[in-house]
């Protein structure tokens, strides 16, 4: 059985994961309109992944005797300036999510809820991979600079990049 404090903290994380999904969906739409098909496909996949993170939390809260709350979300921005700025925002957002997960782990330990602590370890590992992926992509973008040919190749190749591939290549 979840404590009320932990249930509240998990519900906050559900909202964060939902907002992450919406943010990446907005990024996908922006990239698609700009003709960046590979980047948009990557961001659509990323949005779906964040939604799955949210659903996993919802099911966990409900299975542990809590009640997962589906809350109103703040609308994400719709213009990202440049694809480089967009990926910088993605990294900043993943760092924010990592901090939130770490705070949640802290609450689980305060509440001596070791089942939840164990459950959250998947999210801890996932965030390491998410941050590594964002940094890897930013490194590639910085190599490209203003080279249009490089952007074309990056856009073509980024749809093949996944969280798993960044982790598998040891770029953490």
Please list the rounded mean pLDDT of every run of 10 residues in the chain (172 residues): 97 98 98 95 95 98 97 95 94 97 98 98 96 93 86 85 50 38
Report helix, strand or coil for 141.
helix
Of 116, 93, 121, 94, nearest to 11 (Cα)? Answer: 116
Query: What's the pLDDT score for residue 162?
Result: 59
Q: Is 50 annotated as a binding residue?
A: yes
Place of tokens 């299975």: 63
pLDDT at 157: 86
What is the 8-class DSSP label of residue 2? -
Distance CA 13, CA 90 (A): 17
165 token code pair: 């591939």
Is 94 annotated in a binding site? The answer is yes
Structural contact between residues 61 and 108, judged by C-beta atoms closer than 8 angstroms? no
pLDDT value of residue 115:
97
Residue where the block lists tokens 């909202």: 15
Q: pTM for the complete prediction?
A: 0.90
In whole angstroms, how large is the CA radius of gyration of the chain? 17
CATH class of the domain defined by 4-164? mainly alpha
pLDDT reported for residue 147: 83
Q: Do the annotations mark residue 7 as ligand-binding?
A: no
- Cβ atoms within 10 A of the Cβ of 136, count? 17
53 is in an annotated binding site: yes
The reply, when asked if residue 22 is annotated as ligand binding, is no
Task: Output the pLDDT for position 54.
Answer: 98
Residue 156: name the closest of 169, 144, 164 by CA: 144
How many Cβ atoms from other residues are within 10 Å of residue 64's Cβ?
17
Q: Write out 80-116 in H/E/C secondary structure.
A: CCCHHHHHHHHHHHHHHHHHHHHHHHHHHHHCCCHHH
Report the pLDDT value the prediction gives residue 166, as an integer from 0 to 100: 44
Q: State residue 39's pLDDT score.
A: 94
Q: DSSP class of residue 37?
A: H
């Amino acid at each position: 059985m979840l404590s009320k404090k932990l249930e509240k903290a998990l519900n906050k994380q559900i909202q964060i994961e939902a907002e992450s999904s919406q943010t990446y969906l907005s990024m996908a739409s922006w990239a698609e309109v700009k003709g960046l098909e590979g980047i948009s496909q990557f961001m659509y996949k990323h949005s779906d992944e964040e939604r799955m993170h949210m659903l996993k939390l919802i099911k966990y809260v409900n299975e542990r005797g809590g009640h997962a709350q589906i809350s109103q979300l703040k609308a994400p921005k719709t213009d990202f300036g440049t694809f480089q700025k967009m990926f910088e925002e993605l990294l900043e957002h993943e760092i924010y999510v990592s901090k939130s997960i770490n705070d949640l782990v802290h609450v689980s330990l305060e509440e001596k809820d070791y089942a939840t602590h164990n459950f959250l370890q998947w999210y801890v590992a996932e965030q390491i991979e998410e941050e590594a992926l964002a940094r890897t992509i930013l490194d590639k973008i910085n190599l490209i600079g203003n080279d249009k040919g490089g952007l074309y190749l990056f856009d073509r190749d980024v749809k093949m990049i996944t969280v798993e591939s960044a982790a598998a290549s040891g770029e953490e």
